[in-house]
Amino acid sequence: MALKDITLGQYFPGNSLVHRLDPRTKLIAVVLYIVALFLAKYFVTYAIMFGVLALSIAISHVPLKSILRGLKPVLFIAIFTAVLNLFYTTGTHVLVHFWIFTITLEGVFQAFFMVVRIMMLISGTFLLTYTTSPILLTDGLESLLNPLKKIKVPVHELAMMMSIALRFIPTLIEETDKIMSAQRARGADFESGNLIQRAKALIPLLVPLFISAFRRADELAVAMECRCYHGGEGRTRLRQLRYRGIDYMTIAFFLVVTAAVFVLARFGL
């Protein structure tokens, strides 16, 4: 059951302004947001970025709790980076000095901003996957990457593979759960023993899982061919992506924010 509780950028159905934006708009906005986040330097610029994030979350109506839950797994990485920055940043204002370790005021700030940056980075991208269904997301990605077709990049095929992969994550998790229970019912033990014993214990789980994944892939391929799928050439869409006024406004807003952060960071703010 524990496997089912994993939130892997889960889609949170809703009808907020953020949900209704064109997926391409959201993708562009997230890219701009990330760029701005890396340009940010000090309190003022970080405060602006935090404001943008808070505003987006507020408009999206995604409960804060689920965003925070998504942050839990990266907490370790964040703390790890913070500790590294804390000790390895050189500066002039030495706060503590013992043995070979030196903590400077610059280091404290650096560590703090690093944690904030990672957390905001993850929250921002989570907001994208929380408010955009995987299908729309890949549609948007395909449409944005379309120019690459000119240089023979198989954009449609890549997007199709991505949506199929995303579609089958929950199915495979469920399947894993089922096979695990079935083998446990026959006395398999996945929880105890040393590393080698545990690796061996996975065989009864992995073999059936692979077989069923291949079987599913096969069946899906046949089903797609039965419906005359033959790649992206000349394929029309049920859902046409279309920019509306609000989309242009959103992109303009994010452009302004990025530019503002760029300029302010130049002044060391």
Residues that bind other proteins in the complex, under the rule CB under 8 A = 1, 4-5, 63, 66, 178-179, 181-189, 203-204, 207-208, 211-212
Q: Judged by CB, which is closer to other proteins: 72, or 152?
A: 72
Judged by phi (left if over 0) then psi (alpha if -120 to 50, else beta), residue 153 lies in: beta
CB distance 239 to 142 below 8 Å: no
Minimum CB–partner distance for residue 179 and other proteins (Å):
6
DSSP three-state, residue 235: coil
CB of 191 to other proteins, least distance (A): 10
Pick 203 or 246: Cβ nearer other proteins: 203
Closer residue to other proteins (CB): 5 or 233: 5
SS (H, E, C) 152-208: CCCHHHHHHHHHHHHHHHHHHHHHHHHHHHHHHHCCCCCCCCCHHHHHHHCHHHHHH
Distance, in Å, from the CA atom of 255 to the CA atom of 261, rounded to the nearest integer, reads 10
Report the residue number, 186 or 239, with the smaller CB distance to other proteins: 186
Minimum distance of other proteins from residue 245's CB (angstroms): 33
Give me the least distance between CB of 162 and other proteins, in Å please.
Answer: 25
CB < 8 Å & 24+ apart, contacts of 78-81: 78/114, 78/115, 78/118, 78/119, 79/115, 81/111, 81/114, 81/115, 81/118
Query: Shortest approach of other proteins to residue 212 CB, angstroms?
Result: 6
* Half-sphere exposure at residue 177, Cβ-oriented, CA atoms within 13 angstroms: 12
**Residue 203 or 252: which CB sits closer to other proteins?**
203
User: CB of 30 within 8 A of CB of 128?
Assistant: yes
Nearer Cβ to other proteins (75/203): 203
Min dist CB 208 to other proteins, Å, is 5
